[in-house]
Amino acid sequence: MSEQEEAPRRKNRRKTAFNPAGNPLLWCKWVGYLFWVMAMYFAQMAKPPEESFFHRLMNISAAKHWNRDLMTLSWFFLWLTALVGIGGLILNSTRLRRRDDHLSVGLIILMLLAMAAMAALPAGNSIAVFFSHL
């Protein structure tokens, strides 16, 4: 290799072993996504059943209202998801010291998912439902 041809420069990245206990941002993401999945599960369980063939056959009416207790639980987990996302972003912004550090896209996506789910809960006014159970 001649002096005129330089070797291609590699990015100067830190080589670290995968250590989930030493990475609090990873834990924030895992816990946040777990809370989001739990919120979506409870929202799905709160949905009223659709009228099926057997409802019509037996002449039974299906429930037309959402389960308010499960919707409140879903709303609670969505708030926890948002708080974990905000806490993770605050933690991430305090750790931006090196040139190759960056904001966590996963935490931003987590926040957007939580906010979109809060806006789309179809149980009327979810804030009123939440405060009616306190």
Q: The pTM is what?
A: 0.66
Residues near 134 by beta carbon (within 8 Å), at least 6 away in sequence: none
Name the token pair of 132: 């009616």
- Mean pLDDT in residue range 1-28: 62
Alpha-carbon gap, residue 113 to 25, rounded angstroms? 17
Cβ-based neighbour number of residue 18 at 10 Å: 7
Q: What is the pLDDT of residues 76-116, one digit of tens each?
A: 899 999 999 998 888 888 776 766 667 788 888 988 888 88
Q: Is 64 exposed, middle or buried (0-12, 13-18, 19+ CB in 10 A)?
A: exposed
